Amino acid sequence: MHCCDAMDRHANVTCEDHEDPFDCPDALVQFSARFQEYGLIIHDGGRSSSIIDFCPWCGRRLPESQRDRWFDELERRGIDPWEDELPPEFEDDRWLKSDSAEPH
Ligand SMILES: [Zn+2]
Ligand SMILES: [Zn+2]
């Protein structure tokens, strides 16, 4: 599903010791399915990550961020992402494939 095996491994890293990748020193990349964004995890004790446009391993351009569309799509449905409960398909990348997501 990702650009290369290395990204596949890193984006799907599961650690027995750390449920949260931000707590795991071995976790380098965080993939946000809902936004289609890849971030380099900055281990400063917080939850910072730096969005990357290119894969650090194979150099390929990563998919464009869908963050703006995610918010647009929710707004179109009259859902406030900060106040309202998110429809389950907006928790991950399913909203991108749902039939109701018409192109603008
Ligand atoms: Zn760990
Ligand atoms: Zn790659």
CA of 78 to the centre of ligand 2 (A): 36
Collapsed DSSP state (helix, strand, coil) of residue 66:
coil
Q: Give the Cβ contact number of residue 57 at 10 Å.
A: 17
CA of 73 to the centre of ligand 1 (A): 35
Q: Are 30 and 41 in contact (CB under 8 A)?
A: yes
Q: Spell out the domain ranges in the chain.
A: 5-52, 67-97
CA of 67 to the centre of ligand 2 (A): 21
Ligand nearest to the CA of 20: 1
Block means of pLDDT (10 residues each) for the chain, length 104 residues? 94 88 92 95 92 97 96 97 96 85 52
Ligand nearest to the CA of 23: 1
Q: Identify the pLDDT of residue 101.
A: 47
pTM of the model: 0.83
Ion ligand 2 neighbours, Cβ < 5 Å: 3-4, 7, 55, 57-58
Ligand nearest to the CA of 13: 1
The alpha carbons of the chain give a radius of gyration, in whole angstroms, of: 15
CA of 58 to the centre of ligand 2 (A): 4
